[in-house]
Amino acid sequence: MSQEKMNAVVVYGKEDFRYEEVLKPKPRKEEVLVRIGRVGICAADPKIFRGKGYFSPIVYQSAPIIAGHEFIGEVVELGPDAKQKWGLSEGDKAIMENIVPCRKCYYCLRGLYNLCEIHYIPGVKGVNGGWADYMIYPSEAIIHKVPNELPWEAAVLIEPLSCAVYGVERVGVNLGDTVVIMGDGPIGQLMLQAAKAKNPHLLIMVGHHDKRLEAAKDLGADIVINSKKEDPVEIVMRETRVGADVVLEAAGTESAVMQTIQMLRKRGRMLVFGVYGEKAAIDWSIISDIKELEIVGGHLAPYVYPVAIRLLAEKYIRYDKIVTHTFPLKDWRRAIETAEKRESGAIKVTMAPS
């Protein structure tokens, strides 16, 4: 008896993604098979397609691999012992975290599983992703049940929202802080909402797309700045006199990094979370001698998926202004172009398998 087939977007190399028929996977011991309900396009995905960034060669080394690391699915089959291990039943919505850690390396043993030395990432390294009709959640993954009443267009934001929440927690946004978010894309919009929950004194969004900035205003930004039309450093300094307490860098550009350093107050705090296609240089004398800044990086989203799921389920996070476009999976190229070029006011572009 021949194995069933499914459709998927498979990465073979630089600018070589193919929508094709592949074998539908079968869950083994403690594995979960989900029917994909919705997938998102991350800022990294167009860069992977174009061969930019340090991560693209990692993907190509795993090729052929099914793309996609932002996904949400419905359980359709449970491998042996999976029901007991994960507390899932057929028909449940479920998500796996965006890393499969080894649980044995130096970092895993210290609880820093997002920095695992031997990890797999779906759609990137060693594990097929969610740009497909079906997907396997491996037995070694970290899997969470998602409320069935959460619509697909909200549930697809669990992974990026988890990253946003982790970033806000990592840099330590406090009550009364002046917070600037550099980057008006999906992560920036979600960071805006996560930071707002911390009750900051002033919340400023910097970007260069008017429609995205309008959305940010609706989502709670006190001030929005179009960096193509105004000088964000000048405005932040005027509004704060000494500079921002915290800047969340989610743009992934050298100019955004430089502006971040300039607009922070002395002893200010910077989170670096942008997805960079190229290396960015900064003036280290500002960081040390002049301002004594605190800079932290953020990678993935350890321990916060349950928080993100709850925030979406309890409607603390608005998704209606963020998920702007949805395409059929077969139109993946058009979806990537829409996200890459920010066409028609695109913020988060998603795809739905047939």
Single out the residue of 211, 155, 191, 206 nearest to residue 324, CA to CA: 211
Query: pLDDT tens-digit profile of 146-185?
Result: 999 999 999 999 999 999 999 999 999 999 999 999 999 9
pLDDT band at 1 (very low <50, low <70, confident <90, very high): low
DSSP E strands: which ranges in 227-318? Answer: 244-249, 264-272, 294-297
Say if residue 283's pLDDT is above 90. no
Say if residue 275's pLDDT is above 90. no
Type of residue numbered 82: A
Q: What CA–CA distance (Å, rounded) separates 10 from 17?
A: 6
Structure tokens at 259: 């502006």
Query: pLDDT tens-digit profile of 36-94?
Result: 999 999 999 999 999 998 889 999 999 999 999 999 999 999 999 999 999 999 999 99
- Give the pLDDT of residue 278: 78
The CA-based diameter of the chain, rounded to the nearest angstrom, is 73
- Give the pLDDT of residue 354: 75
Query: What sign does the dihedral 88-94-100-103 (CA atoms) show?
Result: negative
Tokens 């795809």 sit at which residue? 351
Query: pLDDT tens-digit profile of 220-247?
Result: 999 999 999 999 999 999 999 999 999 9
- Beta-bridge partners for 321: none
Q: What is the DSSP letter of 344?
A: G
pLDDT band at 28 (very low <50, low <70, confident <90, very high): very high
- Beta-bridge partners for 130: none
Residues 135, 142, 172, 188: what is their CA dihedral angle, to the nearest 10 degrees?
0
Between 227 and 284, the higher pLDDT residue: 227
Cis check for the bond before 64: say yes or no (omega within 30 of 0).
yes
- Beta-bridge partners for 344: none
Q: What CA–CA distance (Å, rounded) separates 332 from 129?
A: 14
Say if residue 321's pLDDT is above 80. yes
Helix axes 305-313, 158-171, angle to 10 degrees: 120
Q: What mean pLDDT is predicted for residues 291-308?
A: 96
The domains of the chain, with CATH numbers, are 5-157+322-352 (3.90.180.10), 163-297 (3.40.50.720)
Structure tokens at 304: 């916060």
Q: What CA–CA distance (Å, rounded) separates 153 from 150?
A: 8
Q: Are 68 and 122 in contact (CB under 8 A)?
A: yes
Query: pLDDT tens-digit profile of 243-266?
Result: 999 999 999 888 999 999 999 999
Q: What CA–CA distance (Å, rounded) separates 186 from 339?
A: 10
